[in-house]
A = this chain, B = another copy of it.
Amino acid sequence: MDEPLFVIPLWADLIAVGLGGIQGALFASGFRGERRLDMLGVAIIGIVMGMGGGLIRDLLLNVPLTTLQSNWYLLTATGAALFGMLLAGVFQRLNAVIVVLDAVVIGLFGAFGTSKALGLGMPLVPAVFVGVCAAVGGGILRDVMMGLPVAIMHVGSLYAVAAGAGCLVLAGSHTLGLPLVAAAIIGASVTAVIRILAVIFDLSLPEQRMLYRRKVAAETTAIPIIKT
């Protein structure tokens, strides 16, 4: 009963965890002012982003947490967070890298969540829900821990839409007979492409994220002014 019928290969899972860790550390390194985190704080956010999606997925599926069954997940997440921290200066200038990384991470976590749920026999609608929660859950934890407005509620609606669309394509095509691995690859790609297109065609992120960063910056600048 506790043994999942569908097993995501360790290497694939670790790639998602590692990319999530890098992405989290890059995000967390970008803050200045009162919201600036020390190195340990950046590492914690990297670990939260690398591990969060898998933890939330397995809690919702009520199965043993895969990311805690081997040493590799935490070592990968921590290593990736440190790597992301070291390269933050370089990556921050390569905006395209961050956008693509972000899109791939959401796609992978969403696809792993929905395909594991389907593999455990969960119906289509909740399987899509588990995928979306796995895709966006790490980001919600990150925002709550950093004291930021939860991005998915205010600036990042398209995160949830992109994740939902990809997971729905995955679950739908699997229900129609496509093998789970093929469906997962298609689903992850759909999510990532929607996210990247949304950025290219200005549907949400770049300006919004900039506004968001600027707003956060404005607030952190404003507070000391008020105090004096």
Contact = CB atoms under 8 A, between A and B. Distances in A.
Contacts of A70: 123, 126
Contacts of A124: 71
A97 interface: no
A44 B160 contact: yes
A118 to B, nearest CB: 12
A153 B161 contact: no
Contact of A41 (B69, B157, B218): B157
Nearest to A28: B153
A64 interface: yes
B37 A153 contact: yes
B222 A40 contact: no
A89 interface: no
Interface in A97-125: 117, 122-125
Given A69-B126, A222-B223, 4 more contacts: A44-B153, A62-B65, A71-B126, A146-B150
Contacts of A123: 69-71
A64 B65 contact: no
Contacts of A223: 219, 222
Contact of A74 (B58, B59, B125): B125
B65 A63 contact: no
A93 interface: no
